[in-house]
C-alpha cells in the first residue's frame, strides 16, 4: 500500500506509462483512470464499485483513508474498523492498480485547520444534521484525492445519495475535470445495503432492519398518490417496530436534494435513516410521483 503523496505520483506516472506502452486502452487514446475513495473495511459493495471502474477505465485507484474530519463531532474515529491486511488481499485479487492509504499527517498536515471545502446549507440537512461537519470533511478530502489522482472517473455507491449529489455539485462548482459514476447498491438476503454494520447485528436485529427496506418499497408503491401518501405508507410499514429508531424519512427532488413539495411530479428520491440496536443504517430508492 502506498502511503506517501510523492510515491503515489511516481506510481501513477509508472502505470500510465505502462498502459500507453501496451496499447489497447478503453478509449484507444490516453489511458483512463478511475478513483474509488473508501474508509477501508472493504466489502461486496466496494467490489461493485471496483468492477464498474474496471469496465470504464484502464487504471483503477483505490484510496483507503479513515478521515478524521468526517468524525469531527463524534467519537467514532478511533472505533471505526480497520482491516488493512484483508483490504490489501481483496484489492490484489481484484487487480486494482494502485492503493493509496495515507496517514492523517500525510493527507491533512495541518489537521483540522486545513483549508476546507464546505457543503453549504445542504451539508446541514439529512445526514449533515445527524453528523455535524461530516460533509465538509468528506468534500475536503474528496477534493484532495481528485486533485492528486487526476482521475477521469470517480465512482461512488448509490446508497450514499447525498454524498454523490454533493460531490457532483463540488465537481461542477470547482470545474474539476472528472465524471462522477454511480454503482448499484449491493444488498444482502434481507434487502439491506451491504455495510460493515450488518455483521454486527443479531438475527432478530437484521430482521428488524429489513423493515427499513419494506418502508422504502411501500413509499415507492404509493407514489402515484403523491408525496404525503409516500411518507404515510413508509411510516405505516414501520409501525410497531420497537427495535428501530427512525432518524429521518424524506422525499427529495433529485435535482436539488431539497424536500419535494406536494406539487412535485416525476422522479424523486425516498431517503431513510434509522438506528437498529445502536447501529445506524441509511438507504434510498427512486420513486415516481404522479
Q: Which residues are catalytic?
A: 46
Please state, in angstroms and rounded to a whole number, the distance separating the CA atoms of residues 144 and 248. Answer: 31
CA nearest neighbour of 58 among 100, 2, 17, 7: 17
Please state, in angstroms and rounded to a whole number, the distance separating the CA atoms of residues 167 and 171. Answer: 6
Q: What is the CA radius of gyration of the chain?
A: 20
CA nearest neighbour of 231 among 222, 240, 243, 239: 222
SS3 call for 23? coil
CA distances from 124 to 55, 87, 130, 136, 140 (A): 35, 32, 8, 10, 15
**CB neighbourhood size of 74 (10 A):** 13
Residue 83 burial class via C-beta count within 10 angstroms: exposed 0-12, middle 13-18, buried 19 and up = middle
What are φ and ψ of residue 263, in 5° steps?
-85, 0
Q: For the sheet containing 244-252, what is the strand order?
A: 244-252, 266-276, 279-289
User: Alpha-carbon dihedral of residues 137, 140, 146, 149, nearest 10 degrees?
Assistant: -80
Please state, in angstroms and rounded to a whole number, the distance separating the CA atoms of residues 72 and 118. Answer: 14
Please state, in angstroms and rounded to a whole number, the distance separating the CA atoms of residues 79 and 67. Answer: 13
Amino acid at each position: 500500500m502506498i502511503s506517501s503523496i510523492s510515491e503515489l505520483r511516481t506510481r501513477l506516472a509508472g502505470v500510465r506509462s505502462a498502459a500507453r506502452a501496451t496499447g489497447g486502452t478503453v478509449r484507444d487514446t490516453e489511458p483512463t483512470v478511475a478513483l474509488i475513495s473508501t474508509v477501508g473495511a472493504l466489502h461486496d459493495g466496494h467490489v461493485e464499485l471496483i468492477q464498474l471502474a474496471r469496465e470504464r477505465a484502464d487504471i483503477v485507484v483505490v484510496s483507503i483513508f479513515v478521515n478524521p474530519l468526517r468524525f469531527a463531532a463524534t467519537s467514532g474515529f478511533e472505533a471505526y474498523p480497520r482491516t488493512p491486511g484483508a483490504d490489501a488481499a481483496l484489492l490484489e485479487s481484484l487487480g486494482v492498480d494502485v492503493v493509496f492509504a495515507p496517514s492523517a499527517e500525510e493527507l491533512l498536515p495541518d489537521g483540522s485547520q486545513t483549508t476546507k471545502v464546505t457543503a453549504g446549507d445542504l451539508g446541514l440537512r439529512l445526514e449533515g444534521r445527524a453528523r455535524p461537519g461530516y460533509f465538509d470533511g468528506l468534500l475536503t478530502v474528496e477534493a484532495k484525492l481528485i486533485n492528486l489522482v487526476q482521475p477521469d472517473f470517480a465512482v461512488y455507491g448509490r446508497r450514499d445519495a447525498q454524498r454523490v449529489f454533493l460531490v457532483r455539485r463540488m465537481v461542477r462548482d470547482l470545474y474539476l475535470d472528472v465524471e462522477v459514476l454511480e454503482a448499484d447498491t449491493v444488498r444482502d438476503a434481507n434487502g439491506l445495503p451491504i455495510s460493515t454494520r450488518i455483521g454486527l447485528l443479531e438475527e432478530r436485529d437484521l430482521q428488524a432492519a429489513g423493515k427499513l427496506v419494506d418502508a422504502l418499497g411501500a413509499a415507492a408503491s404509493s407514489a402515484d398518490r403523491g408525496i404525503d401518501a409516500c411518507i404515510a405508507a413508509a411510516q405505516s410499514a414501520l409501525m410497531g417496530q420497537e427495535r428501530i429508531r427512525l432518524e429521518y424519512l424524506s422525499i427529495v427532488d433529485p435535482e436539488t436534494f431539497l424536500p419535494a413539495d406536494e406539487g412535485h411530479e416525476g422522479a424523486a428520491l425516498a431517503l431513510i435513516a434509522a438506528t437498529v440496536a445502536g447501529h445506524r443504517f441509511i438507504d434510498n430508492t427512486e420513486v415516481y410521483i404522479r
